[in-house]
Structure 1
Amino acid sequence: MVKDPVCGMDVDPKKTKYKLMYQGQEYYFCSRVCMEEFSKDPQRYLSEGHHRDHAHHISDLRKRLVVSLILTIPIFLTSDVAKDLGLLLRYRDIIGLLSASLLFLYGGYPFLRGAISEIKERNIGMMLLVSIGISASFLYSLYSFILGEPKTFYLELALLIDIMLIGHFIEAKVISAATSSVDLLVRLLPHEAHLISDNGYKDVPVRELKPGDLVLVKSGEKVPADGVIVDGISSFNESILTGESAPVVKGKGGNVIAGSINLEGAVKIKVTRTGEESYLGQVERLIKEIRSSRSRFKEIADRAAFFLTIFVITSGIITLAYWLLNSSSLGFAIERAVSVVVVACPHALGLAIPIVIQRTAMLSSSRGILLRSKEALERAKDVKMIIFDKTGTLTEGRFSAKRIQTFNGFDELEVLRLAASLDSLSNHPVARAIVRKAEEMGINLAQVSEFRSVPGSGVEGIVEGKKVSINNVGSESLIAESGNTAIQILIDGVLAGVMEFEDKPKEGAERAIKMLKEMGYRVHMLTGDRKAVASKLSEILGIDSYHAEVKPHEKVNIIKEMQERGLAVAMVGDGINDAPALIQADVGIAIGAGTDIAIESADVILVRSDIEDVAYFFRLARSSYKKMLENLLWAIGYNSLTIPIAAGALAGLIVIGPAMGALIMSMSDVIVVLNAMSLNLRQ
């Protein structure tokens, strides 16, 4: 196994299909996303210390912190504080210098190394500021030692490094908890699967499974790959995957997801998808994409951090010059300058946005809401109008035939037989309802030729020599003005019958619409159905307005018109027929995707097909935006307050030393992280 240079995951070189040759060496990747990210800037991922496994990073910080704390003991014993307490130590100058030198080189190494990387990448920030602070403290102390002067910053240096390491360690632990979603997904899969063969079954590594394999999943075990049950019945816990808390009972023909837990009987499963193509693989890919994508807020924060760094360095130089020109000692002037540089590190500003994004991605994925980009969150805050598709989104999408009315002397059973035969080649929900009705009545279907589907209109074809057409109902129908969906059946161009269908509102749709309206959104519906159908459903659900008898391509034009009026629009649809509208909308939300989450047209994917998740997403988007603003305001406000104090503006009242500056700065980072972690919505 080798490490993916981008994400650090273990990769089997023999199994992965993602690999690149760079400067004579081959690199292996866990996914296409990581490979493409690496190809943009290989040196970024190959530079020393760029990417380490997060656990190793935490372990390294812990070791450096322990050693630094131990070295702080002799430094404290040689300080003026210890002397005032009556603690006298021989060779205190030598011991202090040796301890401080070791501490500077070992404890300060991560900051010195980071500063060099920032300078090389021309992206100066926190590491450079901290390095300036500890270097100035150490070099001035060395200068004082050489000249035999009593003033040193050994203790300040030790406390500065100790506090910075403690702050980084706490921050790394908190961020590790906040960003462990991919690792959690990987751990959901079992290591082995029971592969069924002619000679029974044998245990094989999960990574060796391929589509078409049969596997046995025993009670209490995790499903090793996406598949279809071919034998047995059981209930499955899919809560950690889709957010659905109740166990789901599935039998022969039921789809199961890799990582779900088989709660009861043993089942045999035919593998359909493995690796990156599986549900878990696609979730993992989406999380990586949202991690690697940049947001407008992050770019603003990064730019602000860059200019703040320049400002802080300049402020430090001005502070040093000011106190020297005002006849202060060199030690006091350096102490003030170091305090300014340390206390104003823009680390909190750099953390303000990413940590909120990570927390939001975790909360949404745990609910079965998958975000394909950070921009979707940013655009969601501006949305005023939420547009819903009707069939399969607001309604169950499972039509039931209510009645059939014939015309022009045609027989009811004959009309149903011809219509069902034609619709057997269609996958439209109404077509499936017609076929079910025919099957319930024991009608045998006929062969169809020259089948043709007309999007937004209907289907037509030749059945037993007759041209049969099924279209949206026209005014000829006596039931055309009812509140149910209806279609007309033409045989050889003559109206033969009209069928009426009922499609019930989806459970939770009324509650979801009510919640959205209470949040201040306007709710609109687009449907290809007749006005009577749209009017009836709108009245039941409390929808503000609707467009009826809309062709698929017309949905895009309606959304464009709303956007031209200055409205930010979200479109909620099934991700298939509504793809163009989902793309046109400011935020496209695909509902009813099930385990097939690779819908390129949507910004947000609702895996659970729960209409109430639409309201949850917008609540989450609003809350995450609020947290971003809070973090940015805190980071900027904190610097505005502490820089003047650290520079000595209130020297007669209060003075912030380097160690205290480091403590305040570290606490600022932790506050930003904890504020992001406090983002939590009730399910």
Structure 2
Amino acid sequence: MNEPAVNPGEAGDGERCSVDLGIGGMTCASCSARVERALRKVPGVQQATVNLATESARVVVAGGDPQVVARLARAVREAGYEPRTPEQMQAAADEGPWAGFGPVALALALSAPLVLPMLLQVFGVHVMLPPWLQFLLATPVQFVLGARFYKAGWSAARHGSGNMDLLVAIGTTAGWLLSVWLWWTAPAGETPHLYFEGSAVVIALVLLGKWLEARAKRRATSAIRALHALRPEQAHWLGPDGEVDVPVAELLPGDRVVVRPGERFPADGRVVEGHTQADESLLTGESLPVPKGPGDAVTGGAINGEGRVMVEVTAVGAESVLSRIIRLVEDAQAAKPPIQRLVDRVAAVFVPVVLGLAVLTLAGWLAAGVGFEAAAIHAVSVLVIACPCALGLATPAAIMVGTGVAAQHGILIQDPLALERARAVDTVVFDKTGTLTVGRPTLTAFVTDEPQAEDAWLALAASLQSGSEHPLARAVVAAAQARSVAFEPVTQMHAVPGRGTEGVVDGVCWRLGSLRWLEEMGATLGPLEGEARRLLASGATVSALAECGRGEGSEAPAARVRALLAFADAVKPGAREAIERLRARGLQVVMLTGDHRAAAAAVAQALGLDPERGEVVAEVMPEQKAGHIATLRRAGRVVAMVGDGVNDAPALAAADVGLAMGSGTDVAMHAAGITLMRGDLALVPAALDISARTVGKIRQNLFWAFIYNIVGIPLAALGYLSPVLAGSAMAASSVSVMANALLLRRWRPECQKR
């Protein structure tokens, strides 16, 4: 690959796509702001986000311009930076200017003798190196090891902007020139106090800070690298001539591959032969191996256990689960939360303001009559201590680490906005079926108006449901298959979302769905009314099969109910404990379901929810779920919605924070800001916890970055900080921001701390 990565837009986006572009040469928030401005000026660009921590840009473009990548690269180059491909980005991370410690060690070694006399003075020993030796030690540090600051600073100045490198270059050069001038103009026989140590030590400390910062960045991106490492390079493909080793990139859906014990599954697929266990811990956070047999789905990147299995490939490349996970994490790390907007505004004017303050400092001290030497040193301190690096790293560093560690535990944070909102959530609304319950209901009762027609009515019910993926439909089909009843061909099939299905069998219209829907359509329970009340009172979910007469689908006249179908769905293990954890955080929990009140009450009792306190809302149609979320929000609640089905998507989108169960549908995952990669409800409080902690780190980083500059610059201007102390503080600021963000790597979900 020799181009930046181009990713097609979502369905319906037309020619809209996103481009990932590496950017070399950025050193601070001013740099990233300048690159963003340059990219947004390119025709067709709808959005551009530059991430200083990953040294990359995510650009959304429209219009189908085949030269868009070249135009973006040209814009980056004309702004004074280097466009990079993904391969070049990785090489820069491994071998870039901050990857090796050699230059840092040399700079520290040359600077140490210059600092030694200052340290000896503390113990009463007065030693001063001759000026020529100070010159020989400081000059290579200034102009050889510090050459990168001149190069980057000149590039910024040439393009009418400024950055951290420009401040360092101007400040240290001023100190070096002042020392040379004092040395050359000193009377013969006198050894003036020089400031070579200030310029050399500042450069050495900044180099050290940059090296530590780059090391921290590599640790922060370890989650993404770990996910990429899950992709095997070879697969054992079963071709016409038998088993052949081929690159994974050549696999196609429908291919069959052999996976041996201990190998990673090369692609998403379904087991067609053999039994094994799969370690999916790096994908879902699930620590226990998952049994796999014929018909079970496997995920590319998971580790095969002790069995040799044959797998039929179902998804490859960008369509695979692993690629989607990587994409979601990268999207979250590339995006900016609203809190970053203030930083961007500050970064845009930071360097010019600091240069102006340095000039004012010089003029002010000259006016105070302290002499040019002292005034220049104070101005240099202002230039050196000002650090836009910490501002630029504060937000992306925390997001990188927070989203990375969350992904390692099966929590995909897709939207940085969800991070900020999750911190304020006070109400968590759960869908019932498939979320709080296992989602695999079984048919527990089948009651007919004619006992001798039980198999016939069951066959009709299963025929109507045979094409549906709804959990209740699968339960009906499974029950019919267990009785070995024959299915009937169905015509004019029509599904009514959230209500039921209707179709014509042998010229007769039949409906199968909820009691409420059938009652709305005019169906009568007849002799089954008492049985329906009994089943509902038991807490079962009850559907009915109604014969509508001969006719055309919904135009057929309604008739009586022929059979009642009762379903039971077990509560998920750990659901009650997850709810208790949410309550311990001070959150209100609500269960939202379309089931009858009695069925909802039975599940609520198992979960410890109280309908009297508004914790259970039943008989809610799919289209009403989003409305209920909106009602809670209008009441001042900050709502998180947890769901898994297609009919939950509007509610997930309507909530302040949507959490989709990864075991559910793609539609639900697309509508949510956070995806839980496994059906464990313990991930819900964990997702809210890591979101709150990540935002907390962002706020801490921004606070200290702003405070550092607000306090440090005035102290330097007032003469309380020497250039050496200013350089130390500047280097420490960026390192401390990265170190604070890296503390998130120690986070573990509460359920794993036992």
Distance (Å, rounded) in 2 between the aligned partners of 1:387 and 1:322: 61
1:114 Cα deviation from its structure 2 partner = 3.4
- Give the unaligned 5+ runs of structure 2: 6-19, 24-41, 44-56, 62-67, 520-524, 550-558, 750-754
Q: Name the counterpart of 1:487.
A: 543
| Paired residue secondary structure (2:606) | helix
By how many angstroms is 1:49 displaced?
A: 3.9
Which residue is 1:138 aligned to?
176
Note the C-alpha offset of 1:135: 2.6
| Residues 378 and 542 of structure 1, relative CA distance in 2, 3 Å threshold | same
Query: CA 1:259 to 1:627, structure 2 compared with 1: closer, same or farther past 3 Å?
Result: same
User: Counterpart of 2:93?
Assistant: 54
Q: Aligned partners of 1:379 and 1:120: how far apart in 2?
A: 41
Is the Cα contact below 8 Å between 2:264 and 2:300 reproduced in 1? yes
SS of residue paired to 1:577: helix
* 1:596 Cα offset (Å): 5.8
Distance in 1 between the 2:714 and 2:134 partners?
31
- When residues 58 and 222 of structure 1 are mapped into structure 2, their CA distance, relative to the original with a 3 A threshold, is farther
Cα offset, 1:419, TM superposition: 0.9
1:245 Cα deviation from its structure 2 partner: 0.5
Deviation of the 1:428 alpha carbon: 1.3
> How far apart, CA to CA, are the structure 2 residues paired with 1:573 and 1:2?
41
Could you say what secondary structure the match of 2:566 adopts?
Answer: strand
Q: Does the 8 Å CA contact 1:79/1:154 hold for their aligned counterparts? A: no
Could you tell me how far apart the structure 1 residues matched to 2:739 and 2:101 are? 20
Name the counterpart of 2:143.
Answer: 105
SS in 2 for 1:411: helix
Q: Tell me if 1:255 matches 2:297.
A: yes
Aligned partner of 2:638 among 558, 562, 568: 568
2:722 paired residue number: 657
Q: Kindly provide the amino acid, as one letter, of the partner of residue 568 in structure 2.
A: E
Correspondent of 2:603 among 537, 550, 553: 537
Aligned residues of 1:231 and 1:252 also touching (Cα < 8 A) = yes
Following the alignment from structure 1 to structure 2, what is the Cα–Cα distance between the partners of residues 549 and 388?
14
* Equivalent AA in structure 2 for residue 524 of structure 1: V
Alignment of 1:390-539 (within 5 A): 390-407=432-449, 411-474=453-516, 476=525, 477-478=529-530, 479-480=532-533, 481-482=536-537, 483-491=539-547, 492=549, 493-539=559-605
Pairing partner for 1:302 from 344, 348, 352: 344
Task: Confirm or deny: 8 A CA contact 1:125 1:305 kept in the other structure.
Answer: no
Task: Report SS of the residue matched to 2:277.
Answer: strand
Aligned residue in 1 for 2:335: 293
2:546/2:561 contact within 8 Å kept = yes
Question: Which residue of structure 1 aligns with residue 2 of structure 2?
Answer: 2
* 2:389 corresponding residue in structure 1: 347
Aligned AA for 2:178? Y
| Counterpart Cα distance in 1 of 2:126 and 2:352 | 41
Q: Is the 8 A contact 1:228 1:255 kept in 2?
A: yes
- Cα 1:64–1:43 shift into 2, 3 Å: farther
Q: Report deviation, 1:112.
A: 2.9
Q: Give the equivalent residue in structure 2 for 1:12.
A: none
Name which of 612, 618, 621 aligns with 2:691.
621
Q: Which residue of 1 aligns with 2:241?
A: 199
Supply the AA of the counterpart residue of 2:458: L
| CA distance, structure 2, for counterparts of residue 229 and residue 465 of structure 1 | 40
**What is the rounded CA distance, in whole Å, between the counterparts of 2:443 and 2:403 in structure 1?**
42
Q: How many residues align?
A: 654
Alignment check: 8 A CA contact 1:108 1:134 kept = no
User: Of 365, 368, 374, which residue of structure 2 is paired with 1:323?
Assistant: 365
Q: Contact (CA 8 Å) 2:98, 2:210: kept in 1 or not?
A: no
* Residue 229 of structure 2 is aligned to residue 187 of structure 1: yes
1:295-330 Cα shifts (integer Å, max 9, x gaps): 211222232344554543333222222221222132
The answer to whether the 8 Å contact 1:582/1:588 transfers is yes
SS of equivalent to 1:600: helix
2: CA distance between counterparts of 1:68 and 1:585? 54
Letter in 1 for 2:691: A
Q: Secondary structure at the match of 1:285?
A: helix
Residue in 2 aligned with 1:162? 204
Q: How far off is 1:243 after superposition?
A: 0.5
CA distance in 2, matches of 1:331, 1:84: 25
The whole-number CA distance in structure 2 between the counterparts of 1:647 and 1:199 is 78
Change (3 A) 1:626 1:80: closer
Kindly indicate whether the alpha-carbon contact (under 8 Å) linking 2:276 and 2:308 is maintained by their aligned counterparts in 1.
yes
- What is the Cα deviation at residue 157 of structure 1? 0.8
In 1, are the aligned partners of 2:420 and 2:692 still within 8 Å (CA)?
no
Q: Distance in 1 between matches of 2:502 and 2:704?
A: 64
Residues 88 and 382 (structure 1), Cα distance of their counterparts in 2 relative to 1, 3 Å cut: closer
Q: Which amino acid aligns with 2:228?
A: V
In the alignment, structure 1 residue 599 sits paired with structure 2 residue 669: yes
- Alignment TM-score, normalising by the size of structure 2: 0.81
Cα pair 2:280 2:287 within 8 Å, conserved: yes
Shift of 1:357: 0.6
Change (3 A) 1:546 1:41: farther
Number of the residue aligned with 2:34: none
Contact 2:335/2:415 (<8 A) preserved: yes
Amino acid at match of 1:663: S
Indicate yes or no: 2:128 matched with 1:72: no
Aligned with 1:129 (options 167, 181, 186)? 167
Cα distance between partner residues in 2 of 1:259 and 1:595: 21
Q: After TM superposition, list the pairs within 5 Å mapping 1:258-269 onto structure 2.
A: 258-269=300-311
State the partner residue of 1:379.
421
The answer for unaligned runs of 5 or more in structure 1 is 10-21, 24-32
Task: Give how far 1:568 is off.
Answer: 2.2
- Name the residue aligned to 1:15: none
| Alpha-carbon RMSD | 3.0
- Equivalent position SS for 2:336: coil
| 1:175 equivalent in alignment to 2:243 | no
The amino acid that maps onto 2:293 is G
User: In structure 1, what is the equivalent of residue 73 of structure 2?
Assistant: 42
What is the distance in 2 between the residues matched to 1:143 and 1:522?
71
**Structure 2 residue aligned with 1:14:** none
Find the aligned partners of 2:151 and 2:636 in 1 and give their Cα distance: 49
- 2:33 corresponds in structure 1 to none
Is the alpha carbon distance of 1:595 and 1:657 closer, same or farther for their aligned partners in structure 2, counting shifts above 3 Å? farther
Q: For 1:54 and 1:595, how far apart are their aligned partners in 2?
A: 37
Distance 1:303 1:88, change over 3 A: closer
CA spacing shift, 1:138–1:396, aligned 2, 3 Å: same
Aligned residue identity for 1:331 = E
Aligned to 1:220: 262
Structure 1 Cα separation of the partners of residues 179 and 654 of structure 2: 63
CA contact (8 A) 2:465 2:474 kept: yes
Deviates more, 1:351-360 or 1:534-543: 534-543
In the aligned structure 2, how far is the partner of 1:448 from the partner of 1:554?
30
CA deviations over 1:240-278 (Å, ceiling 9, x no partner): 111010011101122111111112121112222222221
Answering whether residue 741 of structure 2 is matched by residue 676 of structure 1, we say yes
Q: Secondary structure at the match of 1:578?
A: helix
Q: What secondary structure, in the 3-state scheme, does the structure 2 residue paired with 1:236 have? A: strand
Q: Could you tell me how far apart the structure 2 residues matched to 1:80 and 1:298 are?
A: 42
**CA distance in 1: counterparts of 2:261 and 2:451, whole angstroms:** 59
3-state SS in 2 of match to 1:210: coil
Alignment deviations for residues 466-523 of structure 1 (CA, whole Å, 9 cap, x no partner): 2211121258432343211000111132211211111111111111111112111111
The Cα of 1:604 is off from its aligned counterpart by 0.9
1:595 CA displacement: 9.6
Q: Distance in 2 between matches of 1:597 and 1:666?
A: 46
Q: Provide the rounded CA distance (Å) in 1 between the counterparts of 2:116 and 2:692.
A: 53
Aligned with 2:339: secondary structure?
helix
Between 473-482 and 575-584, the greater mean CA deviation after superposition:
473-482
Q: Which amino acid aligns with 2:731?
A: S
The alpha-carbon distance between structure 1 residues 222 and 8, as it changes in their structure 2 partners (threshold 3 A), is farther
* Alpha carbons 1:61, 1:165 under 8 Å: kept: no
SS in 2 for 1:189: coil
